[in-house]
Amino acid sequence: MIGRTAFSRRAVLLAAAAAPVAVACTPTPPPAPPPDPLAELVRAALSDAALAAAAGAPETAAARTEHATRLQAEVDRATPRVPGSSAPPTTSAPVAPPAGASRESLVPALQAAQKQAADLVASVEAHRVGLVASVAAGCASLLEALS
């Protein structure tokens, strides 16, 4: 029978059995990584640096800028790159200094940053503990210098 267009039962069963395999083999994009816990420390450091610069504390501004730089480097290192992208992702953005900045307003900001980093030490991966603890200690030192 040359003009036969009907499918055999065997062909239909084979097609039905192969369909889930074809769907299962379709690549799915990987899920987006969770936000890096150090990204919030980067934002706090940049904000503190802007506040310190506006308050006339250049040493504090330089130290907090260095904290932001080191933390951002770790965030960029740990963040998986998207295929086809040449530049590492970055989460830092310039921060405008607040109006009416003073040394008195810098103290609670540094205290909050110290607590934030100290709280994070217990939950970060072992290879990040030194960096986060150094940021907490650096904030404590900056507070002492401001006193």
Task: Give the domain ranges of the chain.
Answer: 38-78+96-146
Contact 70, 58 (CB under 8 A): no
**pLDDT value for 21:** 60
Confidence of residue 16 (pLDDT cuts 50, 70, 90): confident
Q: CA triplet 92, 112, 138: central angle to 5 degrees? A: 75
- Give me the sign of the Cα torsion angle 134, 140, 143, 147: negative
Q: Could you read off the pLDDT of 51-98 as tens digits, one per residue? A: 999 999 999 999 999 999 999 999 999 886 665 555 545 545 556 666
Q: Can you tell me the distance from the alpha carbon of 146 to that of 112, in angstroms, rounded to the nearest whole number?
A: 15
Q: Which two tokens stand for residue 118?
A: 């100290």
Contact 48, 106 (CB under 8 A): yes
- Give me the sign of the Cα torsion angle 97, 101, 105, 110: positive
Rounded to an integer, the average pLDDT of 121-132 is: 94
Q: Which has the higher per-residue pLDDT, 118 or 17?
A: 118
